[in-house]
Amino acid sequence: MTDYLVKALAYGGFVRAYAVDATETVAEMQRRHDTWNTASAALGRTMIGALMLGATLKGDDKLTVKINGNGPAGGIIVDSNGKGDVKGYIKNPHLSLPLNEVGKIDVRGAVGNEGMFTVIKDLGLKEPFSGQTPIVSGEIGEDFTYYLAVSEQTPSAVGVSVLVDTDDSIKTAGGFMIQIMPGANDEVIDQIEEQLKETARISSLLDQGQTPEEILQGLLGTNDIEFLEKMPVRFKCDCSKEKFGAAIISLGPDEIQAMIDEDHGAEAVCAFCNNKYEYSEADLMELKREAMGEK
């Protein structure tokens, strides 16, 4: 198991904690979208946060995180589920900004500090749950933290980090999410806040060889940790030629005929994974027949 996420309880169950090593997952995204360093950090951080939010769901339940800021990155959209699958894309993948004032990748400059942070959860119910908060930072970890506090009323600390190499490849990527349960005393909260102040970036800890379990032990500052689950995570897209074919059918027979007459075929490209699907004239004729209700 290369990339994985751990779930844990600490301080007698009053603290719920997650940590994830998503290095290969974010690297797969970088390869598929050819993201440059600033775009890699922005999209990678969003994917890491979405993986940890997704880990709070049941297996087939899924969620979408949308970040629409006023920066040059444009919109970011990430899907994840309760099984550790994640996929995502950024409107401007070829974004490489100068380092910020502390010498780090300028994710805030890419995302912007104004706009909306949205989470849509599909829990298999009639209507999906949707929560929305303003972007408060653009650094993304703080935006996940604010969303959880305001929209889900769960006091949390979220850290997401991507270490990009000089050739734009991903060295390490990971994150943590610590949530305070009702009834936790101030001493526990103070202890965790102190530990968070002293902890290095998660990507640096992963680069030093630390595991998600070791990272949580350092963050929580206690041996009173019960590890509940170790779950593999991965970049996975569920697109297919059949799904895109269904979308073409929905355009109607006239539109499909226009594709045949004008282009003699069609190509569909998945925004999430960049897979390409080719449709010949014969394929389109078959889809046109289905659009007309013929077998």
pLDDT of res. 62: 95
Which tens digits make up the pLDDT trace of 10-53?
988 899 999 999 999 999 999 999 999 999 999 999 999 999 99
pLDDT of res. 295: 57
What is the SS3 assignment for 34? coil
Asked if 101 and 155 sit in the same domain, the reply is: yes
Full-model pTM: 0.93
Q: Are the C-beta atoms of residues 87 and 153 closer than 8 Å to each other?
A: no
pLDDT of res. 59: 79
pLDDT of res. 184: 80
Asked if 109 and 204 sit in the same domain, the reply is: yes
pLDDT of res. 202: 87
pLDDT of res. 156: 92
Asked if 129 and 265 sit in the same domain, the reply is: no
Asked if 175 and 258 sit in the same domain, the reply is: no
Asked if 257 and 185 sit in the same domain, the reply is: no
Domain count, the chain: 2
CATH number at residue 55: 3.55.30.10
CA 108 from chain centre, in angstroms, equals 17
Asked if 44 and 154 sit in the same domain, the reply is: yes
3-state helix, strand, coil in the chain (%, to 5): 35, 30, 35
* Residue ranges of the chain whose pLDDT lies below 70: 1, 295
